[in-house]
Amino acid sequence: MTANILAAAEQTLSPIFSEIDSRVKQNLDRVLRSFRNQRVGVHHFSSMTGYGHGDLGRETLDRVFAEVMGAEAALVRVQFVSGTHAIATALLGLLRPGDELVALAGAPYDTLEEVIGLRGHGQGSLKDFGIHYREIPLDGNGEPNWGAIATCVEPQTRMVLIQRSCGYTWRPSLSLDQMAKMIQLVKAQNPAVICFVDNCYGEFVETQEPTHVGADLMAGSLIKNPGGTIAPAGGYLVGNAALIEQASYRLTAPGIGHEGGATFDQNRLLFQGLFLAPQMVGEALKCSYLLGYVFDQLGYAVNPPALAPRRDVIQAIALGSPEKLIAFCRTLQRYSPIGSYLDPVPAPMPGYADELVMAGGTFIDGSTAELSADGPLRSPYIVFCQGGTHWTHMALILEALLADKTLWPQPTC
Protein backbone atom coordinates (compact mmCIF):
# COMPACT_ATOMS: atom_id res chain seq x y z
CA MET A 1 0.00 0.00 0.00
CA THR A 2 2.75 2.45 0.98
CA ALA A 3 4.80 1.69 -2.12
CA ASN A 4 1.73 2.04 -4.36
CA ILE A 5 0.80 5.46 -2.98
CA LEU A 6 4.34 6.81 -3.30
CA ALA A 7 4.84 5.33 -6.78
CA ALA A 8 1.59 6.89 -7.96
CA ALA A 9 2.59 10.22 -6.45
CA GLU A 10 5.98 10.23 -8.15
CA GLN A 11 4.43 9.32 -11.51
CA THR A 12 1.71 11.97 -11.25
CA LEU A 13 4.14 14.66 -10.13
CA SER A 14 6.86 13.95 -12.69
CA PRO A 15 5.74 16.70 -15.15
CA ILE A 16 5.50 19.21 -12.28
CA PHE A 17 8.99 18.25 -11.12
CA SER A 18 10.27 18.97 -14.64
CA GLU A 19 8.65 22.43 -14.54
CA ILE A 20 10.33 23.11 -11.19
CA ASP A 21 13.70 22.15 -12.68
CA SER A 22 13.14 24.64 -15.48
CA ARG A 23 12.51 27.45 -12.98
CA VAL A 24 15.57 26.42 -10.98
CA LYS A 25 17.65 26.85 -14.13
CA GLN A 26 16.25 30.34 -14.77
CA ASN A 27 16.79 31.45 -11.18
CA LEU A 28 20.30 30.05 -11.05
CA ASP A 29 21.13 31.93 -14.24
CA ARG A 30 19.93 35.13 -12.53
CA VAL A 31 22.18 34.46 -9.52
CA LEU A 32 25.21 33.60 -11.66
CA ARG A 33 24.72 36.72 -13.77
CA SER A 34 24.87 38.84 -10.64
CA PHE A 35 28.01 37.06 -9.40
CA ARG A 36 29.65 37.80 -12.75
CA ASN A 37 28.53 41.42 -12.84
CA GLN A 38 29.85 42.06 -9.32
CA ARG A 39 33.09 40.15 -10.05
CA VAL A 40 32.83 37.92 -6.98
CA GLY A 41 36.17 36.33 -6.09
CA VAL A 42 37.81 34.46 -3.23
CA HIS A 43 39.01 37.74 -1.75
CA HIS A 44 35.37 38.51 -0.90
CA PHE A 45 35.31 35.60 1.56
CA SER A 46 37.55 37.43 4.02
CA SER A 47 36.01 39.71 6.60
CA MET A 48 36.92 42.54 8.92
CA THR A 49 36.90 42.37 12.69
CA GLY A 50 35.71 44.93 15.24
CA TYR A 51 33.58 47.64 13.69
CA GLY A 52 33.60 45.93 10.31
CA HIS A 53 34.41 49.13 8.44
CA GLY A 54 35.32 48.60 4.80
CA ASP A 55 34.29 44.92 4.64
CA LEU A 56 34.60 44.34 0.90
CA GLY A 57 32.85 40.98 1.01
CA ARG A 58 29.86 42.37 2.91
CA GLU A 59 29.54 45.35 0.56
CA THR A 60 29.78 43.12 -2.52
CA LEU A 61 27.22 40.68 -1.13
CA ASP A 62 24.81 43.58 -0.64
CA ARG A 63 25.20 44.52 -4.30
CA VAL A 64 24.78 40.90 -5.44
CA PHE A 65 21.60 40.48 -3.41
CA ALA A 66 20.18 43.73 -4.70
CA GLU A 67 20.80 42.75 -8.31
CA VAL A 68 19.39 39.25 -7.86
CA MET A 69 16.25 40.67 -6.27
CA GLY A 70 15.79 43.46 -8.82
CA ALA A 71 16.37 46.22 -6.27
CA GLU A 72 18.55 49.31 -5.87
CA ALA A 73 20.20 48.31 -2.60
CA ALA A 74 20.35 45.58 0.03
CA LEU A 75 21.25 45.08 3.67
CA VAL A 76 22.36 41.45 4.16
CA ARG A 77 23.57 40.84 7.70
CA VAL A 78 24.28 38.03 10.12
CA GLN A 79 23.25 40.52 12.81
CA PHE A 80 19.61 39.99 11.83
CA VAL A 81 18.38 37.36 14.29
CA SER A 82 15.51 36.28 12.07
CA GLY A 83 13.15 37.35 9.34
CA THR A 84 10.96 38.91 12.03
CA HIS A 85 13.95 40.98 13.18
CA ALA A 86 14.58 42.20 9.62
CA ILE A 87 10.91 43.16 9.24
CA ALA A 88 10.85 44.89 12.63
CA THR A 89 14.02 46.81 11.74
CA ALA A 90 12.33 48.20 8.66
CA LEU A 91 9.06 49.01 10.42
CA LEU A 92 10.73 50.77 13.34
CA GLY A 93 13.30 52.42 11.10
CA LEU A 94 10.86 53.92 8.61
CA LEU A 95 7.66 54.64 10.52
CA ARG A 96 7.22 57.65 12.80
CA PRO A 97 4.64 58.65 15.43
CA GLY A 98 1.31 59.37 13.77
CA ASP A 99 2.06 57.20 10.73
CA GLU A 100 -0.21 54.31 9.83
CA LEU A 101 0.70 50.78 8.77
CA VAL A 102 -1.95 48.83 6.85
CA ALA A 103 -1.75 45.04 6.42
CA LEU A 104 -3.32 44.09 3.10
CA ALA A 105 -3.74 40.33 3.59
CA GLY A 106 -5.44 39.98 6.94
CA ALA A 107 -3.72 39.26 10.23
CA PRO A 108 0.10 39.10 10.18
CA TYR A 109 2.30 36.18 11.22
CA ASP A 110 2.22 35.46 14.95
CA THR A 111 5.71 36.82 15.67
CA LEU A 112 4.76 40.25 14.30
CA GLU A 113 1.89 40.69 16.75
CA GLU A 114 4.16 41.94 19.54
CA VAL A 115 6.19 44.04 17.08
CA ILE A 116 3.00 45.82 16.06
CA GLY A 117 1.59 45.94 19.59
CA LEU A 118 -1.35 43.56 19.19
CA ARG A 119 0.07 41.59 22.12
CA GLY A 120 2.50 42.56 24.85
CA HIS A 121 3.02 45.96 26.45
CA GLY A 122 5.89 48.39 26.84
CA GLN A 123 8.35 46.50 24.68
CA GLY A 124 8.94 49.26 22.15
CA SER A 125 6.28 48.12 19.70
CA LEU A 126 4.82 50.31 16.96
CA LYS A 127 1.86 50.97 19.24
CA ASP A 128 4.20 52.17 22.02
CA PHE A 129 5.59 54.77 19.60
CA GLY A 130 2.17 56.03 18.52
CA ILE A 131 2.22 54.32 15.13
CA HIS A 132 -1.25 53.23 14.10
CA TYR A 133 -2.13 49.86 12.63
CA ARG A 134 -5.02 48.65 10.52
CA GLU A 135 -5.59 45.44 8.61
CA ILE A 136 -7.83 44.55 5.71
CA PRO A 137 -9.50 41.18 6.29
CA LEU A 138 -9.51 38.63 3.50
CA ASP A 139 -12.75 37.94 1.68
CA GLY A 140 -14.96 34.94 2.39
CA ASN A 141 -12.80 32.71 0.17
CA GLY A 142 -9.56 33.63 1.89
CA GLU A 143 -8.48 35.82 -1.02
CA PRO A 144 -7.47 39.51 -0.97
CA ASN A 145 -10.34 41.97 -0.67
CA TRP A 146 -9.62 43.93 -3.82
CA GLY A 147 -12.35 46.49 -3.31
CA ALA A 148 -11.11 47.40 0.16
CA ILE A 149 -7.48 47.50 -0.98
CA ALA A 150 -8.40 49.90 -3.81
CA THR A 151 -9.64 52.43 -1.23
CA CYS A 152 -7.44 51.65 1.78
CA VAL A 153 -5.02 54.58 1.71
CA GLU A 154 -5.74 57.39 4.16
CA PRO A 155 -3.78 60.65 4.60
CA GLN A 156 -1.82 59.14 7.53
CA THR A 157 -1.02 55.88 5.71
CA ARG A 158 2.76 55.68 5.37
CA MET A 159 3.26 51.98 4.60
CA VAL A 160 1.35 48.87 3.56
CA LEU A 161 2.52 45.41 4.60
CA ILE A 162 2.07 42.49 2.22
CA GLN A 163 2.72 39.11 3.78
CA ARG A 164 3.40 36.64 1.00
CA SER A 165 3.16 33.46 3.04
CA CYS A 166 0.05 32.09 4.72
CA GLY A 167 1.73 32.01 8.15
CA TYR A 168 -0.18 29.90 10.67
CA THR A 169 -3.45 30.29 8.76
CA TRP A 170 -5.32 28.38 6.11
CA ARG A 171 -5.43 31.22 3.60
CA PRO A 172 -3.67 30.74 0.25
CA SER A 173 -0.25 32.33 0.08
CA LEU A 174 -0.04 35.25 -2.34
CA SER A 175 1.11 34.89 -5.92
CA LEU A 176 3.47 37.34 -7.57
CA ASP A 177 0.61 38.58 -9.76
CA GLN A 178 -1.57 39.26 -6.69
CA MET A 179 1.22 41.19 -4.97
CA ALA A 180 1.82 43.22 -8.14
CA LYS A 181 -1.91 44.08 -8.26
CA MET A 182 -1.88 45.14 -4.59
CA ILE A 183 1.06 47.45 -5.24
CA GLN A 184 -0.59 48.97 -8.31
CA LEU A 185 -3.82 49.64 -6.39
CA VAL A 186 -1.96 51.31 -3.52
CA LYS A 187 0.29 53.41 -5.75
CA ALA A 188 -2.75 54.60 -7.72
CA GLN A 189 -4.06 56.14 -4.47
CA ASN A 190 -0.74 57.61 -3.27
CA PRO A 191 2.60 56.89 -5.00
CA ALA A 192 4.48 57.88 -1.82
CA VAL A 193 3.09 55.01 0.26
CA ILE A 194 5.78 52.40 0.92
CA CYS A 195 4.84 48.91 -0.28
CA PHE A 196 6.70 46.48 1.99
CA VAL A 197 6.65 42.73 1.32
CA ASP A 198 7.40 40.04 3.89
CA ASN A 199 8.94 37.59 1.45
CA CYS A 200 9.77 34.80 3.93
CA TYR A 201 9.46 31.33 2.36
CA GLY A 202 8.90 32.86 -1.10
CA GLU A 203 12.33 33.57 -2.58
CA PHE A 204 13.08 31.72 -5.86
CA VAL A 205 9.68 30.00 -5.93
CA GLU A 206 8.89 31.99 -9.07
CA THR A 207 11.32 33.49 -11.57
CA GLN A 208 10.88 37.02 -10.21
CA GLU A 209 10.59 38.57 -6.76
CA PRO A 210 8.14 41.21 -5.48
CA THR A 211 10.80 43.91 -5.92
CA HIS A 212 10.81 43.09 -9.64
CA VAL A 213 7.13 44.07 -9.83
CA GLY A 214 7.08 47.29 -7.84
CA ALA A 215 7.63 46.54 -4.15
CA ASP A 216 9.59 49.36 -2.51
CA LEU A 217 11.02 47.15 0.22
CA MET A 218 11.28 43.43 0.94
CA ALA A 219 12.55 41.33 3.83
CA GLY A 220 13.41 37.73 4.56
CA SER A 221 15.54 35.28 6.53
CA LEU A 222 18.82 33.71 5.45
CA ILE A 223 18.02 30.44 7.24
CA LYS A 224 15.08 30.07 4.90
CA ASN A 225 15.17 30.09 1.09
CA PRO A 226 17.99 32.51 0.14
CA GLY A 227 20.56 30.96 2.49
CA GLY A 228 20.57 27.74 0.50
CA THR A 229 20.50 25.65 3.74
CA ILE A 230 24.09 26.62 4.67
CA ALA A 231 23.86 30.26 5.81
CA PRO A 232 24.51 30.05 9.57
CA ALA A 233 22.28 33.00 10.54
CA GLY A 234 20.98 36.33 9.34
CA GLY A 235 18.39 38.10 7.27
CA TYR A 236 18.10 40.70 4.54
CA LEU A 237 16.34 43.84 3.43
CA VAL A 238 16.30 44.85 -0.24
CA GLY A 239 14.61 47.71 -2.05
CA ASN A 240 14.78 51.43 -2.61
CA ALA A 241 18.24 52.74 -1.65
CA ALA A 242 16.95 55.57 0.53
CA LEU A 243 14.66 53.24 2.44
CA ILE A 244 17.44 50.70 2.96
CA GLU A 245 19.71 53.44 4.28
CA GLN A 246 17.06 54.64 6.71
CA ALA A 247 16.34 51.11 7.94
CA SER A 248 20.08 50.47 8.43
CA TYR A 249 20.18 53.19 11.11
CA ARG A 250 17.76 51.11 13.18
CA LEU A 251 19.88 47.98 12.79
CA THR A 252 23.05 49.76 13.94
CA ALA A 253 22.78 53.44 14.95
CA PRO A 254 22.24 56.84 13.34
CA GLY A 255 25.48 57.85 11.68
CA ILE A 256 26.68 54.26 11.29
CA GLY A 257 23.99 52.60 9.18
CA HIS A 258 25.13 50.00 6.68
CA GLU A 259 28.84 50.81 7.08
CA GLY A 260 29.27 48.87 10.33
CA GLY A 261 28.94 45.25 11.36
CA ALA A 262 31.60 42.54 11.35
CA THR A 263 30.72 39.44 9.33
CA PHE A 264 32.62 36.96 11.53
CA ASP A 265 34.21 35.11 8.59
CA GLN A 266 30.77 34.06 7.31
CA ASN A 267 30.95 35.76 3.91
CA ARG A 268 31.79 32.58 2.01
CA LEU A 269 28.78 30.73 3.41
CA LEU A 270 26.45 33.62 2.56
CA PHE A 271 27.71 33.80 -1.02
CA GLN A 272 27.65 30.03 -1.41
CA GLY A 273 24.21 29.77 0.17
CA LEU A 274 22.80 32.25 -2.33
CA PHE A 275 24.37 30.24 -5.15
CA LEU A 276 22.72 27.05 -3.85
CA ALA A 277 19.39 28.68 -3.07
CA PRO A 278 17.57 28.12 -6.40
CA GLN A 279 18.35 24.40 -6.31
CA MET A 280 17.43 24.05 -2.65
CA VAL A 281 14.13 25.86 -3.18
CA GLY A 282 13.40 23.55 -6.11
CA GLU A 283 13.87 20.52 -3.88
CA ALA A 284 11.71 22.06 -1.16
CA LEU A 285 8.93 22.60 -3.71
CA LYS A 286 9.14 18.95 -4.75
CA CYS A 287 8.86 17.94 -1.08
CA SER A 288 5.79 20.15 -0.77
CA TYR A 289 4.09 18.59 -3.78
CA LEU A 290 4.89 15.06 -2.66
CA LEU A 291 3.60 15.64 0.86
CA GLY A 292 0.47 17.44 -0.30
CA TYR A 293 -0.39 14.82 -2.90
CA VAL A 294 -0.01 11.84 -0.55
CA PHE A 295 -2.07 13.36 2.26
CA ASP A 296 -4.70 14.49 -0.22
CA GLN A 297 -4.97 10.88 -1.36
CA LEU A 298 -5.41 9.85 2.27
CA GLY A 299 -8.39 12.18 2.55
CA TYR A 300 -6.92 15.08 4.50
CA ALA A 301 -7.48 18.73 3.63
CA VAL A 302 -4.22 20.20 2.30
CA ASN A 303 -3.20 23.78 1.51
CA PRO A 304 -2.17 24.49 -1.16
CA PRO A 305 -4.20 21.83 -3.00
CA ALA A 306 -2.22 18.82 -4.12
CA LEU A 307 -1.52 19.85 -7.73
CA ALA A 308 -1.93 23.63 -7.43
CA PRO A 309 0.94 25.99 -8.35
CA ARG A 310 3.13 26.80 -5.36
CA ARG A 311 3.52 30.38 -4.10
CA ASP A 312 5.96 29.55 -1.29
CA VAL A 313 7.58 26.41 0.15
CA ILE A 314 4.97 25.77 2.87
CA GLN A 315 2.63 22.79 2.79
CA ALA A 316 -0.16 22.75 5.36
CA ILE A 317 -2.17 19.67 6.35
CA ALA A 318 -5.25 19.79 8.59
CA LEU A 319 -4.69 16.75 10.81
CA GLY A 320 -7.72 17.27 13.03
CA SER A 321 -6.32 16.36 16.44
CA PRO A 322 -3.42 17.30 18.72
CA GLU A 323 -2.37 13.64 18.88
CA LYS A 324 -1.88 13.45 15.12
CA LEU A 325 -0.04 16.77 15.03
CA ILE A 326 2.40 15.59 17.69
CA ALA A 327 2.77 12.16 16.07
CA PHE A 328 3.53 13.70 12.67
CA CYS A 329 6.25 15.89 14.16
CA ARG A 330 7.73 12.97 16.09
CA THR A 331 8.08 10.91 12.91
CA LEU A 332 9.69 13.78 11.01
CA GLN A 333 12.09 14.33 13.91
CA ARG A 334 13.01 10.62 13.89
CA TYR A 335 14.00 10.96 10.23
CA SER A 336 15.98 14.17 10.72
CA PRO A 337 19.77 13.97 10.39
CA ILE A 338 20.38 15.83 13.65
CA GLY A 339 18.63 15.08 16.94
CA SER A 340 16.68 12.11 15.62
CA TYR A 341 16.51 10.78 19.19
CA LEU A 342 14.64 13.86 20.45
CA ASP A 343 10.91 13.79 21.17
CA PRO A 344 9.02 16.96 20.09
CA VAL A 345 6.55 18.06 22.75
CA PRO A 346 4.25 21.11 22.85
CA ALA A 347 5.84 24.10 24.54
CA PRO A 348 5.64 27.90 24.69
CA MET A 349 7.74 29.74 22.10
CA PRO A 350 8.85 33.38 22.27
CA GLY A 351 6.66 35.53 20.03
CA TYR A 352 3.79 33.04 19.73
CA ALA A 353 0.41 33.13 21.47
CA ASP A 354 -0.16 29.35 21.56
CA GLU A 355 2.01 26.42 22.51
CA LEU A 356 3.82 24.97 19.51
CA VAL A 357 5.07 21.55 18.63
CA MET A 358 8.11 21.77 16.38
CA ALA A 359 10.28 19.21 14.59
CA GLY A 360 13.37 19.62 12.50
CA GLY A 361 16.76 18.20 13.29
CA THR A 362 18.76 20.59 11.15
CA PHE A 363 22.45 21.40 10.83
CA ILE A 364 21.59 25.09 11.27
CA ASP A 365 19.39 25.54 14.33
CA GLY A 366 15.90 26.54 13.21
CA SER A 367 16.70 26.33 9.51
CA THR A 368 13.30 25.69 8.00
CA ALA A 369 14.98 25.55 4.58
CA GLU A 370 16.52 22.21 5.52
CA LEU A 371 13.27 20.62 6.69
CA SER A 372 10.83 21.34 9.46
CA ALA A 373 7.29 20.68 10.61
CA ASP A 374 5.46 22.63 13.25
CA GLY A 375 2.10 23.93 14.28
CA PRO A 376 0.24 25.65 17.09
CA LEU A 377 -1.89 23.52 19.38
CA ARG A 378 -5.18 25.01 18.32
CA SER A 379 -8.03 23.63 16.26
CA PRO A 380 -8.02 22.35 13.50
CA TYR A 381 -4.47 21.22 14.42
CA ILE A 382 -2.68 22.08 11.22
CA VAL A 383 0.90 20.99 10.62
CA PHE A 384 2.98 23.39 8.52
CA CYS A 385 5.90 21.78 6.68
CA GLN A 386 8.72 23.74 5.08
CA GLY A 387 11.90 23.01 3.24
CA GLY A 388 13.70 19.85 2.26
CA THR A 389 17.14 19.57 0.74
CA HIS A 390 16.09 16.70 -1.53
CA TRP A 391 12.67 15.23 -2.21
CA THR A 392 13.89 11.66 -1.60
CA HIS A 393 14.27 12.61 2.08
CA MET A 394 10.56 13.44 2.15
CA ALA A 395 9.80 10.12 0.46
CA LEU A 396 11.52 8.29 3.33
CA ILE A 397 9.53 10.28 5.89
CA LEU A 398 6.28 9.51 4.08
CA GLU A 399 7.11 5.80 4.05
CA ALA A 400 7.46 5.94 7.84
CA LEU A 401 4.24 7.91 8.27
CA LEU A 402 2.24 5.62 6.01
CA ALA A 403 3.54 2.51 7.73
CA ASP A 404 1.89 3.47 11.03
CA LYS A 405 -1.77 2.66 10.39
CA THR A 406 -2.76 3.45 13.96
CA LEU A 407 -1.68 7.07 13.53
CA TRP A 408 -3.07 7.80 10.08
CA PRO A 409 -6.49 6.24 9.56
CA GLN A 410 -8.83 8.02 7.18
CA PRO A 411 -10.05 11.21 8.91
CA THR A 412 -13.66 11.18 10.05
CA CYS A 413 -14.27 14.95 9.83
The secondary structure of 154-213 as a DSSP string is: -TTEEEEEEE-S--SSSSPPPPHHHHHHHHHHHHHH-TTSEEEEE-TTTTTTSSS-GGGG
Co-location of 6 and 47 in the same domain: no
N residues, the chain: 413
Q: Residues 219-249: pLDDT tens digits?
A: 999 999 999 999 999 999 999 999 999 999 9
Domain contains 408: no
Give 299-322 pLDDT, tens digit per residue.
Answer: 999 999 999 999 999 999 999 999
pLDDT band at 24 (very low <50, low <70, confident <90, very high): very high
Residue 147: Cβ within 10 Å count: 11
Q: Taking residues 2-11, report their average pLDDT.
A: 85
Residue 126, pLDDT > 90, answer yes
**Per-residue pLDDT, 409:** 56
Judge whether 50 lies within some domain: yes
Look at residues 269, 285, 309 and tell me which one is the last residue of a structural domain.
Answer: 269
Q: What is the mean pLDDT of the segment spanning 38-67? A: 96
- Of 214, 244, 269, the position where a domain reaches its end is 269
Single pTM value for the model: 0.94
333 pLDDT above the threshold of 80:
yes
CATH number of the domain within which 16 lies: 3.90.1150.60
Last residue of a domain, one of 269, 300, 325: 269
Whether pLDDT at 362 is above 90: yes
Contact assessment for residue 135 and residue 107, using Cβ atoms and an 8 Å cutoff: yes
- With pLDDT > 90 as the criterion, what percentage of the chain qualifies? 88
Going by C-alpha positions, the residue among 241, 100, 72, 76 that lies closest to residue 161 is: 100
User: What's the confidence (pLDDT) of residue 122?
Assistant: 84
In a domain, 412, yes or no: no
Contact 370, 229 (CB under 8 A): yes
**224/369 same-domain check:** no
Asked if residue 211 and residue 79 are part of one domain, the reply reads yes
CA geometry: angle 219, 251, 234, nearest 5 deg: 50
pLDDT score recorded for residue 54: 92
Which one is predicted more confidently, 158 or 351? 158
Predicted local distance difference test score (pLDDT) of residue 408: 61
Helix, strand, or coil here: 310? coil
Question: Mean pLDDT across the chain, nearest whole number?
Answer: 94
Q: Does residue 239 form part of some domain?
A: yes
Please check whether residue 211 lies inside any domain of the structure: yes
Backbone φ and ψ of 90, nearest 5°: -70, -45
CA dist., res. 182 & res. 215, Å (int): 10
Q: For 245-286, write each residue's pLDDT tens digit.
A: 999 999 999 999 999 999 999 999 999 999 999 999 999 999
Identify whether residues 264 and 283 lie together within a single domain.
no
Q: What pLDDT score does 94 carry?
A: 98
Q: Are residues 222 and 316 located together in one domain of the fold? A: no
**Per-residue pLDDT, 306:** 96
Q: Which of 312, 248, 253 is nearest to 76 (CA)?
A: 248
pLDDT of residue 411: 46
pLDDT at 1: 56
Report the C-alpha gap between 117 and 103 in whole angstroms. 14
The Cα–Cα gap between 200 and 165 comes to 7
Check whether 59 has a pLDDT greater than 50: yes
Residues 76 and 170 reside in one and the same domain = yes
pLDDT of residue 245: 98
Same domain for 280 and 262?
A: no
- pLDDT of the residue at 412: 40
How many domains would you assign to the chain?
2
Q: Is residue 34 part of a domain?
A: no
- The stretch 383-410 carries a mean pLDDT of 86
Q: Are residues 300 and 361 in the same domain?
A: yes
What would the pLDDT profile of 79-121 be if each residue is shown by its tens digit?
Answer: 999 999 999 999 999 999 999 999 999 999 889 999 999 998 8
In a domain, 194, yes or no: yes
Q: What percent of the chain has pLDDT over 70?
A: 97
Same domain, 261 and 281: no
Tell me, yes or no, whether 35 lies in a domain: no
Query: Do residues 109 and 223 both lie within one domain?
Result: yes
Residues 377 and 391 in one domain: yes
Lowest mean pLDDT among 29-43, 133-147, 195-209, 344-358: 344-358
Question: Residue 224 sits in which domain range?
Answer: 41-269
- Do both 196 and 343 map to the same domain? no
Q: Check if the beta carbon of residue 339 is closer than 8 Å to that of residue 372.
A: no
Per-residue pLDDT at 413 exceeds 50: no
Average pLDDT of span 25-43? 98
| CATH number of 195's domain | 3.40.640.10
